[in-house]
Amino acid sequence: MSTVRNDWSIQEIENIYHQPLLELVYQAATVHRNWHQPNEVQVCTLLSVKTGGCPEDCSYCGQAARYHTGITVKSLMSKEDVVAIAQRAKDSGSSRFCMAAAWREVRDNRDFDTILEMVEGVNELGLEVCCTLGMITESQAQRLQEAGLYAYNHNLDTSKDHYKEIISTRTFDDRLDTLTNVRKAGITVCSGGIIGLGETHEDRIQMLHTLATLPKHPESVPVNALARVKGTPLENLPKIDSWEMVRMIATARILMPASMVRLSAGRVEMTTEEQGWCFMAGANSIFTSETDELLVTPNSRLEDDRKMFDVLGLKPMVKEKTVQPNVTA
């Protein structure tokens, strides 16, 4: 029987992660079928509501002001524009809308008031509203919750050990503090990471261990492959092999059976076959966007995603449900 466990040991995760790939995928697909409808994939629309000019030094990120990445910096969008995009996203089959801002942290100023209005407006459309705005305090989380925020995205990105090689302007523990603030406010947690940052298998296992031993698993776990952005310190790292994504997704699925596992950055460089393996391994959520860009890097086109869903026999999930296992043996 598959139950939700928060007491995984590193050794257990190593044993799962390092299995022969087909064994691992079979095990993950079995867990997936016990907990989810395998033909349903959550479609989340991602929108960058404030782009670039970020003071942080995340070495993977095209939006950090200190790297010369040539992106167009944009100040905070208007509530009206954002709600109009959210409406179109809903009309094209999205059930979640995620607004991202290139901020280190939220400040209690007029921009935050505008974000709160955006959350209210998008929530009124009946979409699950998600934000990713950097670090937030407990009272900011509370205000977001009161405005109707459903989920907050805040990734651990990598292991605690590897974190300091990637970012120096904040710590891994700062990330965990924000996740605690989000939980205290009763907002669901979206937290995952990136592979391809020059980390070892051990780092990936450590990151999954941190996520899977939180007091409550994140309701969503995005698995990103590094989108290599010219001008960032990591621009020349090798492209991640899709089997690495499959292995990561399958392990996440087994460790956190009730969570949504999102095949996030990196899809644009994957074929339908490669993405199909990720869905087989338990991914059940994707990001789309109106502009075919995730934030500042290319994403798969909506039209191609529709074709992929047809080929693989997938359909957009209407709304994330409170998941109950459908078998007990």
- Member of 129, 149, 226, 260 binding ligand SAM (CB under 6 A): 226
- Member of 16, 36, 45, 62 binding ligand DTB (CB under 6 A): 62
* CA separation, residue 6 to residues 10, 28, 206, 248 (Å): 12, 17, 14, 18
CB of 252 to ligand SAM, least distance (A): 14
Q: Where are the beta strands (DSSP E) in 66-153?
A: 96-101, 128-132, 151-153
Question: 44 in helix, strand or coil?
Answer: strand
220 DSSP β-pair partners: 190, 260
Q: How many residues bind ligand SF4 (CB under 6 A)?
A: 9
Closest to ligand DTB by CB, 12 vs 111, is 111
Question: 47 in helix, strand or coil?
Answer: strand
CB of 100 to ligand SF4, least distance (A): 8
Contacts of 304 (CB under 8 A, 6+ apart): none
Give the pair of three-digit tokens for residue 177: 């503090």
Residue 242 contacts ligand DTB per CB under 6 A: no
Binding at 296: pick from ligand SF4, ligand DTB, ligand SAM, none (beta carbon under 5-8 Å per type): ligand DTB
Residue 134 contacts ligand SF4 per CB under 6 A: yes
Question: Which residues inside 184-223 make contact with ligand SF4, applying CB under 6 A?
Answer: none
Contacts of 84 (CB under 8 A, 6+ apart): none
Region near ligand SF4 per CB under 6 A, out of 41-49, 55-63, 86-94, 182-190:
55-63
Q: Which amino acid is at 44?
A: C
CB of 142 to ligand SAM, least distance (A): 19
Q: Chain-centre distance of CA 85, in angstroms? A: 20
**Neighbouring C-alpha atoms within 13 Å toward the C-beta of 296:** 23
Binding at 64: pick from ligand SF4, ligand SAM, ligand DTB, none (beta carbon under 5-8 Å per type): ligand SF4
Q: Which amino acid is at 4?
A: V
Residue 56 contacts ligand SF4 per CB under 6 A: yes
Q: Tell me the catalytic residues.
A: 54, 58, 61, 98, 130, 190, 262
- Member of 25, 49, 64, 254 binding ligand SF4 (CB under 6 A): 64
Residue 100 contacts ligand DTB per CB under 6 A: yes
Region near ligand SF4 per CB under 6 A, out of 54-62, 121-129, 173-181, 214-222:
54-62
Which of the 8 DSSP states describes residue 260?
E
Question: 5 in helix, strand or coil?
Answer: coil
Select from 175, 213, 218 the least CA-distant residue to 320. 218
Closest to ligand DTB by CB, 27 vs 275, is 275
Closest to ligand SF4 by CB, 229 vs 245, is 229
Residue 265 contacts ligand SF4 per CB under 6 A: no
Residue 224 contacts ligand DTB per CB under 6 A: yes
Gap between the Cα atoms of 248 and 185, Å rounded: 29
- 238: number of Cβ within 10 Å: 9
Q: Which amino acid is at 123?
A: N
Gap between the Cα atoms of 163 and 58, Å rounded: 10
Catalog residues that contact ligand SF4 under the rule CB under 6 A: 54, 56, 58, 61, 63-64, 102, 104, 134
Catalog residues that contact ligand SAM under the rule CB under 6 A: 60-62, 100, 102-103, 132, 134, 154-155, 157, 194, 224, 226-227, 229, 265, 295
